[in-house]
Structure 1
Amino acid sequence: MEYNVADTEDVPITDLSKIDEMPPDLDIRAVDEELDCQNTAVKIWYFDEGEEIGYHAHAEQEELFYVLEGTFSLKLGRSGEEEFVEADEGTFWVAAPKIGRGHRCVSEDGGAVLAFGAPAVEDPGLDPHSLSDEEIDEALEDS
């Protein structure tokens, strides 16, 4: 694949609550699958007020996020050093491999977040509380 183009509305919405192995129970648009991305994971996540992606980390994946709609409370940083930041429409944030990240929708009308992850590998979430400073520092040096 040299290139591909898709309109957001042409990307089907998947209800993750119907997939047991795939928490959280949110709706997503798997843009990366529609475009046949090879090196980047790209999803649009849809949230109702109070829904969240819990605090987690990834072993290899850097993630970049952008708030398309709504307001979110972010939890970012190493275990024991987490910061809470409010993010409105138009806000970007990024988390390196092995650095904790999570976000909760706090707007009444819900919200949507565009998420990019690279590399596009199967990288299940890690518990940031289980990572040592040495493991994190090594991952940051490698990225």
Structure 2
Amino acid sequence: MEYNVADTEDVPITDLSEIEEIPPDLDIRALDEALGLQNVSLKLWYFEEGEEIQFHAHSEQEEVYYIMEGEFSLKLGRSDEEEFVEAGPGTAWVAEPMIGHGHRCISEGGGTVLAIGAPSVEDPGLDPHSLDDEEIDDALDDQA
């Protein structure tokens, strides 16, 4: 594939509540699948007020998020050093591998977040509270 184009409205919405193994119970559009991506994960996440992606980390994947619509409360950082940030449309943030991150929609009308992750690997969420600073530093050094 040299290139591909997809209109997001043509990409089907997946209701994750129907897939028992995959929390959270949100709706997504798998843009990566529609575009045939192999090295990058690319998803649109749709939130109602109060819905969230809980605080987690990944062992390999770096993730970038961009708020398209709505207001969110972000939780970011290492265990016991987390910061909370209020963010709205146009805000982007990144979480390196092994660094905790999560976000909750706080706007009445819901919200939409674009999530980009690389490498595109099966990298289930880790509990950031179970990681120690030496493990995190070693993983980040390996990425450099």
TM-score, normalised via structure 1 length: 0.99
Question: Identity of aligned pairs, percent?
Answer: 75
Corresponding residue number in structure 1 for 2:104: 104
Corresponding residue number in structure 1 for 2:51: 51
Give CA deviations for 1:48-92 in whole Å, capped at 9, x if unaligned. Answer: 000000000000000000000000000000000000001100000
Corresponding residue number in structure 2 for 1:16: 16
Corresponding residue number in structure 1 for 2:125: 125
Query: Which consecutive segments of 4 or more residues in structure 1 shift more than 6 A?
Result: none
Please report how far the alpha carbon of residue 142 of structure 1 lies from its aligned counterpart in structure 2 after TM superposition.
2.1
Please give the root-mean-square deviation of Cα atoms over the aligned residues, in Å: 0.6
CA distance in 2, matches of 1:66, 1:50: 18
CA distance in 2, matches of 1:132, 1:18: 34
Please report how far the alpha carbon of residue 2 of structure 1 lies from its aligned counterpart in structure 2 after TM superposition.
1.7
Q: Which runs of 5+ in 1 are unaligned?
A: none
Corresponding residue number in structure 1 for 2:142: 142
Corresponding residue number in structure 2 for 1:3: 3
Q: Which runs of 5+ in 2 are unaligned?
A: none
Moved more, 133-142 or 114-123: 133-142
- Secondary structure of the structure 2 residue equivalent to 1:115: strand
